[in-house]
């Protein structure tokens, strides 16, 4: 755990591990999207602002969702300024995905971009960014796992004063669910990228993302220790995961049964007067 990585000399400005990982994840996903749209026959100039709008909307949505989910535990005392301190952590991916999706659809409508091919490009980028973001969660100490045996090879302890620990003692041995989630996201990004390179029908990659991420998130939520839920009760994220899984399966079904050819759909995004690049 390293909440504060370093301070900028002379300014004394702290650089937090969580914020740094989120920034790296955004930049990695941004580069992938700009490179990926070229293969869809879409000019990168038309989408260069899309990741920015999605990230800004996503941050707001993720923070709102966190506020709602953890209101009783962290915000009910009336300390409203804490809502704006996102560099300390406290973002829920599903909340960011919902508001980010609204920004995505609005942008596609505004600039007449094909939604499904664009979603297929965005899916591996989102998984890649999430992988780095979860490393940030580990550095921050949030999203920790349930207690486990000290002899377990992956068991970790967090220092005193961290979210999983008390003010004057270290945490018990817990599962590093942040790193489990990070490894899962990186693996998912690799799988989605491999499928995307085969140029499947539009909606296939994004459908896989929703189905596979929803399944893995549902499982990982079961060993999270930061949720105050009763035994046998689903967390909010598990409930949303089931919706994501269902939506992903629906997208896969539609993609498999679409009569339109894959290449024809990709060229829908080419602006008039632009030639689609050769593959």
Record the tokens describing residue 61, joined without a space. Answer: 């949505």
Which of 111, 126, 121 is closest to 45 using CA atoms? 111
Summarize the confidence of residues 140-149 as an average pLDDT.
89
Helix axes 115-140, 93-111, angle to 10 degrees: 150
- Which residues, in sequence order, are CB contacts of 106 under 8 Å at separation 6+? none
* Phi, psi values for residue 35, rounded to 5°: -75, -35
Q: The whole model's pTM is what?
A: 0.80
Query: Is the sign of the CA dihedral 259, 262, 263, 265 positive or negative?
Result: positive
Among 35-49, 143-157, 181-195, which range has the highest average pLDDT?
181-195
Question: What are the sequence ranges of the domains in the chain?
Answer: 4-262
Angle at the Cα of 106 from the Cα atoms of 101 and 107, rounded to 5 degrees: 95
| DSSP H/E element including 6 | strand 4-8
The three-class DSSP label of residue 259 is coil
Residue 66, pLDDT above cutoff 80 = no
Record the tokens describing residue 141, joined without a space. Answer: 């100490």
In this structure, the number of other CB atoms found within 10 A of the CB of residue 78 comes to 7
Angle at the Cα of 171 from the Cα atoms of 165 and 173, rounded to 5 degrees: 150
Task: Convert the pLDDT of each residue in 193-238 to its tens digit.
Answer: 999 999 899 999 999 999 999 999 999 998 998 876 655 678 878 8
Angle at the Cα of 31 from the Cα atoms of 23 and 277, rounded to 5 degrees: 165
Instruction: Say what the alpha-carbon torsion angle 108, 242, 238, 79 is, to the nearest 10 degrees.
Output: 40
């Amino acid at each position: 755990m390293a909440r504060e990585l370093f301070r900028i000399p002379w300014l004394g400005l702290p650089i937090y591990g969580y914020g740094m990982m989120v920034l790296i994840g955004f930049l990695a996903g941004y580069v992938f999207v700009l490179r990926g749209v070229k293969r869809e026959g879409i000019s990168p100039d038309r989408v260069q602002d899309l990741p920015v709008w999605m990230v800004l909307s996503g941050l707001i949505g993720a923070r709102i969702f966190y506020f709602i989910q953890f209101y009783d535990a962290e915000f009910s005392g009336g300390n409203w300024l804490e809502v704006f301190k996102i560099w300390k952590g406290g973002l829920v991916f599903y909340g960011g995905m919902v508001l980010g999706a609204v920004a995505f659809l609005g942008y596609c409508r505004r600039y007449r971009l094909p939604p499904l091919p664009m979603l297929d490009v965005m899916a591996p980028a989102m998984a890649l960014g999430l992988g780095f973001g979860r490393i940030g969660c580990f550095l921050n100490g949030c999203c920790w796992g349930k207690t486990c045996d000290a002899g377990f090879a992956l068991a970790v302890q967090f220092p005193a004063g961290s979210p999983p620990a008390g003010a004057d003692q270290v945490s018990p041995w817990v599962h590093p669910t942040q790193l489990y989630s990070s490894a899962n996201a990186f693996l998912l990004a690799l799988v989605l990228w491999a499928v995307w390179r085969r140029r499947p029908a539009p909606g296939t990659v994004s459908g896989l993302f929703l189905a596979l991420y929803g399944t893995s998130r549902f499982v990982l939520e079961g060993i999270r220790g930061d949720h105050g839920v009763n035994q046998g009760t689903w967390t909010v994220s598990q409930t949303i995961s089931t919706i994501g899984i269902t939506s992903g399966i629906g997208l896969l079904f539609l993609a498999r049964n679409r009569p339109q050819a894959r290449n024809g759909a990709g060229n829908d995004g080419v602006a008039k007067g632009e030639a689609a690049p050769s593959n």
